[in-house]
Amino acid sequence: MPPAPKPVPKDYVPVFFPKRQGGAGASGGAEEARTSIVVVGHVDHGKSTLIGRLLADTGSLPEGKLEAAEKASREEGMPLEYAFLLDALLEEQAQNITIDTTRIGFRYEGQSFEIIDAPGHREFIKNMVTGAAAAEEAVLLIDAKEGCKEQTRRHGLLLSLLGVSQVIVAVNKMDLVGWDEARFRELEKEIREYLGGLKIIPRQVIPISAREGATIMRRDSKNLGWWKGPTLLEALVASRAKKASGDEGPLRFSVQDVYRFDERRVVAGKLESGTIQVGDPVVFFPDRKTSRVKTIETWGENQASTRVGAGRCVAVTLEEQIFVERGHVGSLPDHPPVESREVRARIFWLDAEPLRLQAPVTLRLGTQSVETRLVAIDRVVDAEKLEAVNEAREEVGRFEVAEVRLRCRRPLVYDAHDQVAATGRFALQRGSRIGGGGIIIFAEYSLSLAKAVKGDHLTWTEGRVTSEARAGHFGHEGAIVWLTGLSGSGKSTIAVALESLLFRRGIGSMILDGDNLRHGLCADLGFSIEDRAENIRRAGEVAKLMAESGLVVISSLISPLRKEREAVRASSHSAGLSFAEVYIDAPIEACEKRDPRGLYQKARKGEIRGFTGIDSPYEKPENPDLILHTDKESVEDSVAKLLAHVLGLVQLKEKDQESAGGPGGQI
Hey, CA dihedral for 400, 401, 402, 408, is it positive or negative? Answer: positive
Number of other CB atoms surrounding residue 361 within 10 Å: 21
Q: Does 534 bind another protein (CB under 8 A)?
A: no
Between CA 34 and CA 51 the distance in angstroms is: 17
Nearer to another protein, 420 or 584 (CB): 420
Q: Does 244 bind another protein (CB under 8 A)?
A: no
Which of 70, 73, 88, 493 touches another protein by CB under 8 A?
A: 88
> Cis link prior to 5 (omega < 30° from 0)?
no
What is d(CA 570, CA 565) in angstroms, rounded to the nearest whole number?
A: 9
Smallest distance, another protein to C-beta of residue 358, A: 22
Phi, psi for 60 (deg, rounded to 5): -100, 5
Stretch that binds another protein, among 211-219, 405-413, 424-432, 548-556 (CB under 8 A): 424-432
Site string for another protein, 425-444 (x = CB under 8 A): xxx-x-xxxx--x-------
Minimum Å gap between C-beta 455 and another protein is 23
Site for another protein in 141-180 (CB under 8 A): 162
Nearest Cα to Cα of residue 86 among 114, 52, 61: 52
Task: Work out whether 261 is an interface residue with another protein (CB under 8 A).
Answer: yes
Question: Going residue by residue from 267 to 306, which x/- string records binding to another protein, judged by CB under 8 A?
Answer: -x-x--------------------------xxxx------
* End-to-end CA separation in angstroms for the chain: 70
241 binds another protein (CB under 8 A): no
Per-residue binder mask for another protein (CB under 8 A), 183-202, x = binder: --------------------
Q: Should residue 79 be labelled a site residue for another protein when binding is judged by CB under 8 A?
A: no
If one asks whether residue 415 binds another protein (CB under 8 A), the answer comes out as: no
Reduce the DSSP state of residue 91 to 3 states and report it.
Answer: helix
* Residues in contact with another protein, shown as a per-residue x/- string from 37 to 76 under the rule CB under 8 A: ------------------------xxxxx-----xx--x-
Is 110 a binding residue for another protein by CB under 8 A? The answer is no
Task: Please identify, among the stretches 199-207, 229-237, 256-264, 657-665, the one whose residues bind another protein according to the rule CB under 8 A.
Answer: 256-264
From candidates 122, 288, 326, 379, binder to another protein by CB under 8 A: 326
Q: Is 407 in the site for another protein (CB under 8 A)?
A: no
C-beta of 401: minimal distance to another protein in Å? 15
Nearer to another protein, 35 or 638 (CB): 35
Closest approach of Cβ 69 to another protein, in Å?
Answer: 10
Beta carbons of 85 and 50 less than 8 angstroms apart = no
Q: Sign of dihedral through CA atoms 413, 418, 421, 426?
A: positive
Q: How far is the CB of 491 from another protein (least distance, A)?
A: 48
Cα–Cα distance measured from residue 587 to residue 573, given in angstroms and rounded to the nearest whole number: 30
3-state secondary structure of 586: coil
Alpha-carbon span 470 to 424, nearest angstrom: 30
CB 103 to another protein: min, Å: 5
Q: Are 81 and 49 in contact (CB under 8 A)?
A: yes
Among 80, 134, 322, 643, binds another protein (CB under 8 A): 134
- Count the neighbouring beta carbons within 10 Å of the beta carbon of residue 358: 14
Measured from the CB atom, the residue of 25 and 526 that comes closer to another protein is 25
Output 587-591 pairs: Cβ under 8 A, ≥24 positions apart. Answer: 587/631, 588/486, 588/613, 590/488, 590/489, 590/630, 590/631, 591/486, 591/487, 591/488, 591/489
According to DSSP, residue 212 is labeled T
Residue 182 interacts with another protein (CB under 8 A): yes or no: no
- In whole angstroms, the minimum distance from the beta carbon of 594 to another protein comes to 58
220 in contact with another protein (CB under 8 A):
no
From CA 492, how far away is CA 565, in angstroms rounded?
A: 18
Residue 100 binding another protein, by CB under 8 A = yes
What DSSP element (H or E) covers 314? strand 313-318
Counting Cβ atoms within 10 Å, is residue 425 exposed (0-12), middle (13-18) or buried (19+)?
A: buried
